[in-house]
């Protein structure tokens, strides 16, 4: 094995990740981070001890989730190396234990986010992107790459083709009135573009805007919140509203029921409220019904 870590990762990206994985660009970014932290040693230097030290350091600097994803990438790259004739050292590095993330916005946080989105400091196009991410519950990569030929505004549906969905299956997302209002407005802004969110990137559409997201979080006074949590927020409020787990899974495009189980405890909220109301009535202390809360922001299109 006469080559170094850079050669190992490059071979994996070009021969396996690029032609076979929809996450190639994410793999490419992670490979760059691995090289930035480890350097470019000969592959013989990738010992179990060295990789354990690197993995622990990455976990401290970038978080356990990121460290585990980088470890998985390196393990896959070694597995695919035809010239590797010894046990894979990355397989002997124990990943960090991960807890399933369940962060979603409270009603007060949604109100602050809405105020920040309506502020002149937020560009209208980015506000539309965040709103659609919330209203449709799609992954940010799908929303950024939304095309007009995927949309049927008359039928109020968005069809994400299998090559663009994470589970490799066609996703048909129903569009709520707020989402339709946004799309009707943007159709008039960009009548000649194939993209709902055209951009100056090589892809032709909007790409990840981390600076804009961080600025939005700062102005909305939101902590520990990611764009992907907008998707979880929709699922959470569907559960709070009494939607069944299969319906939530269908809305979010979950392939396994296990992924949707995170919303199980939230789906008990309307049941618990009903039990509480019945108990109050039985004990002779009925309470007047409360007006429904407006959890989601209204889009003024």
- Domain boundaries of the chain, sorted by first residue: 5-92, 113-263
* pLDDT per position as a tens digit, 283-301: 876 565 555 454 444 444 3
Distances (CA, A) of 240 to 233, 235, 264, 270, 271: 10, 9, 10, 6, 9
Beta bridge partners of 173: 158
d(CA 98, CA 96): 6
Q: Residue 283: exposed, middle, or buried by beta-carbon count in 10 A (0-12, 13-18, 19+)?
A: exposed
Q: Classify domain 113-263 at the CATH topology level.
A: hpI Integrase; Chain A (1.10.443)
What mean pLDDT comes out for the span 83-96?
Answer: 90
* pLDDT per position as a tens digit, 238-286: 888 888 888 888 888 887 777 788 887 777 777 777 777 777 777 876 5
Is the whole model's pTM more than 0.75, yes or no? no
Tokens matching residue 79: 């597995």
């Amino acid at each position: 094995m006469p080559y170094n870590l850079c050669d190992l990762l490059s071979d994996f990206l070009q021969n396996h990740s690029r032609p076979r994985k929809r996450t190639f660009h994410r793999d490419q970014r992670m490979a760059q981070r691995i090289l930035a932290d480890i350097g470019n040693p000969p592959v013989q230097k990738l010992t179990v001890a060295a990789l354990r030290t690197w993995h622990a350091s990455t976990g401290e600097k970038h978080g356990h989730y990121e460290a585990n994803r980088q470890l998985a990438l390196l393990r896959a790259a070694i597995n695919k190396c035809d010239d590797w004739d010894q046990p894979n050292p990355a397989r002997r590095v124990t990943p960090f234990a991960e807890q399933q993330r369940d962060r979603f916005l409270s009603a007060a946080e949604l109100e602050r986010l809405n105020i920040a989105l309506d502020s002149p400091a937020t560009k209208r196009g980015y506000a539309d992107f965040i709103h659609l991410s919330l209203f449709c519950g799609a992954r940010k990569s799908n929303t950024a790459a939304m095309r007009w030929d995927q949309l049927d505004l008359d039928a109020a549906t968005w069809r994400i083709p299998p090559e663009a969905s994470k589970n490799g299956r066609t996703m048909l997302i129903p569009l709520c009135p707020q989402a339709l209002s946004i799309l009707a407005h943007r159709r008039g802004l960009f009548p000649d573009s194939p993209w709902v969110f055209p951009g100056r990137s090589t892809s032709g559409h909007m790409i990840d805007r981390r600076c804009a997201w961080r600025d939005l979080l700062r102005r909305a006074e939101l902590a520990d919140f990611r764009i992907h949590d907008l998707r979880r927020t929709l699922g959470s409020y569907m559960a709070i509203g009494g939607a069944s787990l299969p319906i939530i899974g269908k809305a979010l495009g979950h392939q396994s029921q296990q992924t949707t189980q995170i919303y199980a405890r939230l789906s008990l909220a309307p049941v618990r409220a009903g039990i509480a109301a019945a108990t109050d009535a039985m004990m002779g202390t009925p309470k007047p019904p409360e007006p429904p809360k407006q959890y989601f922001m209204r889009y003024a299109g």
